[in-house]
Amino acid sequence: MKIERIEEYDERFEKDIIDQHGAYVINDETYAFQVLDRDTCRVTFSNRNDLNEAIEEYRFFGGHISCFVDQNGKILKEYDKVSFFDMKLEDIYVSQFYVSEEKIKRLLPYVKEFLIPVAKIDGKMVSLDGHTRMKIAQLKGISHVNCYYEEAGDYAKDFMEEAQQRGIFHVYDMPLLSKEEYEEKWHRFCDDFFEQRKAL
């Protein structure tokens, strides 16, 4: 089964759905996720067959969403709600090296809350995702964000350690890159990293 998250503009989805990383295609069927609040997401889909797989894929990036509803508000799937806690940006270590200027521009109009998944690794609180949102918070002069715990993938420690070897500890250290630079540097690093792991 091939699951694709649509990042570029596609006539099958509304622009705001793509900008908020809510557009997915599975076996040529579309699944559009629209966040309603910190717990709830509306799902519009062309075929229900792979709905569970689409929701699971979406939750990989949006683990704080615990309730998925259809266009009529009927519950499609529910999970246990996550607990949020406040953290200073300066106390969160990062597992990414760069932030895309283009992603910031696309996400900026939609960010109402700064919800960041974190895990404790080697005694440090490390962000597993949400680096663009943290950068937006920093640029807006916001010093605290809402965090929730998630289980770290086995690569998260490697990414954090690599970031620190590059002198990148917190979001304040993360440089902004153009779309082209971001794709060249960050995507290439990720592709090379996981290719090397496959070879082991």
- DSSP annotation of 109 reads G
The length of the chain in residues reads 200
**Below-50 pLDDT ranges, the chain:** none
Q: What is the pLDDT of residues 162-175, one digit of tens each?
A: 999 999 999 999 99
pLDDT at 196: 85
User: Is residue 66 domain-shared with residue 90, that is, in the same domain?
Assistant: no
Joined tokens for residue 62: 């949006």
User: Is residue 74 domain-shared with residue 89, that is, in the same domain?
Assistant: no
pLDDT at 200: 64
User: Is residue 191 domain-shared with residue 112, that is, in the same domain?
Assistant: yes
Given 26, 53, 78, which residue is the final one in a domain? 78
- Give dist(CA 12, CA 101) in Å, integer: 25
- DSSP annotation of 171 reads G
Indicate which CATH number applies to the domain containing 188: 3.90.1530
Q: What is the pLDDT of residues 99-139, one digit of tens each?
A: 999 999 999 999 989 999 999 999 999 999 999 999 999 99
User: Is residue 110 domain-shared with residue 22, that is, in the same domain?
Assistant: no
- Give dist(CA 79, CA 1) in Å, integer: 24
Using a cut of 0.85, tell me whether the model's pTM lies above it.
Answer: yes
Q: Which domain holds residue 110?
A: 85-199
- Give dist(CA 102, CA 16) in Å, integer: 14
Give the CA angle between residues 66, 67, 73 to the nearest 5°.
Answer: 165
Given 78, 101, 120, which residue is the final one in a domain? 78
User: Which residue's structure tokens are 């969160």?
Assistant: 92
